[in-house]
Amino acid sequence: MVRNSKEHRRDPHYKSAKQEGYRARSAFKLLEIQKRFNIFKRAFYILDLGCAPGSWLQVARKFSEENIEKYNDQYYHRDHYKIMGVDIKKTTLIEKIKLVQEDFTKPKFIDELNAFFPEKLDLILSDASINKSGNKFSDQIRQINLCLKIIDLTKKNLKINGSLVIKVFQGTDFNNFFKKVKQEFKYLKSYKPKSSKKTSNEIYLIGLQKI
């Protein structure tokens, strides 16, 4: 455990996160996804599932604030943004962001979601993960089951032409899951950021232009 902690601190992305004020190295995964797919374009209403410790929320706030000025035109724009982060773990407060400590698969959370957002979402982010057991086969199935619940939430709460970023584990059920999600979006891409650990089987699906 001590060795792993030392290796973590030597990780270049960990060091960069500390230097740039991000709470975790995972911020760079989202920044890579943004650079490749421009997911934050005209995104003002954003939901982050599995948000702890909050690094993706920090990135989301950065782009939302920029969007208010950048997209102040005759097309879809707003003079404000609303961001909610939810996790079963406690997340330290972030200014101008609504934090909910709750299981997002439960009806209670949906009530909070609907109360906070007056309209459907522009962007849903999910870096949520099951607690891994160490068995890659069973963990992958459990992660897919979690992702299916996120897709159900997405169907009901993401606006037409909205975008989704969701973390999946590669394995037996991945192709079937990909096909299922593809039915919901005009474009669906799989992407593994360079800042993901090489040994990890995580991969992200980026859904653009919800149908």
The answer to whether 136 is a known catalytic residue is no
With a CB cutoff of 8 Å and minimum separation 6, the contacts of 50 are 86, 87, 104, 126, 127, 128, 129
Report how far apart, in Å, the C-alpha atoms of 206 and of each of 5, 82, 94 are.
Answer: 31, 21, 25
Q: Report the chain's C-alpha Rg in angstroms.
A: 17
Beta strand 45-49 pairing with 121-126: parallel
Q: Which residue has the tokens 């099951």?
A: 130
Cα 77 versus chain centre, distance = 22
Residue 146: strand pairing partners: none
- Asked if the bond preceding 193 is cis, omega within 30° of 0, the reply is no
Tell me whether strands 185-191 and 202-210 are parallel, antiparallel or unpaired: antiparallel
Helix (H) or strand (E) holding 20: helix 12-20
Instruction: Give CA–CA dist 149/50, Å, rounded.
Output: 13
Catalytic: which of 90, 108, 120, 167?
167
> Residue 113, class by beta-carbon neighbours within 10 Å (0-12 exposed, 13-18 middle, 19+ buried)?
buried
Catalytic residues: 167
